[in-house]
Amino acid sequence: MDIETYWKDFLKNNNLNQDLKYFEAFSFGINDSQAEELLKLVLDGKKKATTSAYLEEEKYPKINDYSIVLDSKGQASCIIQTKKIRIMTFKEMTFEIAKLEGEDECLDTWIKNHVAFFKEEGEEKGYSFTYDMPIFFEEFELVYK
């Protein structure tokens, strides 16, 4: 379903103000395979958080903002609502926090996977990964699918 129709259906079905705006429509990851894998984790209730590089020029969701999660083809698949935000350095991550992403069995694999992600994304966005770089950790709730 297209993004705007999906959003209007969500507002109507939940008796929300029709003028309410969503923060963003996005897919997780940096390729189609990751987008589908991570979307499935959200839909299955296993992925309840995400980590981003914290870049000053970027905008980030605020508590209670809604975002539309897209599949690899750009179709709206679900809506999440931001519940908690942490800004910390990469090296401050603990497994108690990281496990909310539902992707890794231990902190070592979380670090390995996220270092690779941030290095690849950094090449695209023009930043360099370091263990001291700030990250934006967002906990969310699946509110519509």
The string of pLDDT tens digits covering residues 59-107 is 999 999 999 999 999 999 999 999 999 999 999 999 999 999 999 999 9
Domains and CATH numbers, the chain: 3-144 (3.10.400.10)
Chain mean position to CA 37: 13
Distance CA 82, CA 103 (A): 19
Percent above pLDDT 70 for the chain: 100
**Measured between alpha carbons, how far is 118 from 127 in angstroms, rounded to an integer?**
9
β-bridge partners, 139: 49, 84
Place of tokens 């979380």: 110
pTM of the model: 0.93
Output the pLDDT for position 139.
98
What is the spatial distance between Cα 89 and Cα 93, in angstroms, rounded to a whole number?
7
* Conformation bin of residue 4: beta by default, left when phi > 0, alpha when psi is -120 to 50: alpha
